[in-house]
Amino acid sequence: MTATTDRSQLGSRLLKEIAAIVGPDNVSASTVDRITHSFDATQHQHLPDLVVHPDLREAEPLAWEFCMNFAKDNELQVFEAWAKPVDAKVLEWRRDFHQFPELGNREFRTSKRVTEHLRSLGLEVTTGVAHTGVIAVLKGGKPGKRIALRADMDALPVTERSDLPFASRATSTFRGEAVGVMHACGHDAHVGILLGVAEALASIKAELPGEILFIFQPAEEGPPDGEEGGAEEMLAQGIFDRFKPQA
């Protein structure tokens, strides 16, 4: 099942499956009306909109439970369809960021790669936030809420000891000492995943409700001594003044 599946076909299938499970005599006219109305009224392809009627759970709990499970299963298939085209890219990004880690407030290469990709997607990109932070706004084609999604970009002063082809061999200075640098806390994966999410959502921009702010935060592990940075500095510079997320 894809995001473009006709809603009327889904409604018909859902009603048939509910009837098969709870028995046709237990599917009342009110249940049919609620489900049919949900399909007719919604402008989105997302199946949780089926259960927009708050009294369905109390009136017919078996039908409500089935609706929720049906919605979750089919939403997962929709999400997988969006994610599959970017799976390989997310893996490549994660390994690239892992191989070339950077300490807090020094994420120059990382932020450059992030910026280039976000701009290639047509997003509104702002750079240099809290030193090396990047934010980008994706405006959907339909009205809806504003949400914010965040990934942290900095690595740790840790020497990697592995023979992986993408192992880090980076070094830097931390508190006056020469150190190895490694993504030992998963931030390489966080950045890769959020880039993938941005690409997947940008691909359905016309159908997307609301707006999304993508935040690529520097110095999550803490800024260098004597410097400001991280989430606190991004907020101090007003990222939520310009874009007020609702979630």
Please state, in angstroms and rounded to a whole number, the distance separating the CA atoms of residues 103 and 156: 6
Structure tokens given for 233: 């500095």
Please state, in angstroms and rounded to a whole number, the distance separating the CA atoms of residues 242 and 55: 38
Active site residue 33: no
Residues contacting residue 133 through CB under 8 Å, at least 6 positions apart: 111, 127, 153, 215, 216, 217, 218, 234
Pick the catalytic residue: 154, 188, 199, 211? 154
Structure tokens given for 224: 């260098």
Neighbour-count burial of 20, counting CB atoms closer than 10 A to its CB (0-12 exposed, 13-18 middle, 19+ buried): exposed
Please state, in angstroms and rounded to a whole number, the distance separating the CA atoms of residues 69 and 123: 34
- Among 179, 171, 170, 12, which Cα is nearest to 96's? 170
Pick the catalytic residue: 152, 188, 211, 220? 220
Residues contacting residue 162 through CB under 8 Å, at least 6 positions apart: none
What is the per-residue DSSP string for 206-243? GG-EEEEEEEEES-TT-PPTT---HHHHHHHTTHHHHS
Dihedral over alpha carbons 68, 73, 78, 79 (to 10 degrees): 100
Check if the beta carbon of residue 195 is closer than 8 Å to that of residue 115.
Answer: no
Active site residue 87: no
User: Which amino acids are annotated catalytic?
Assistant: 154, 220
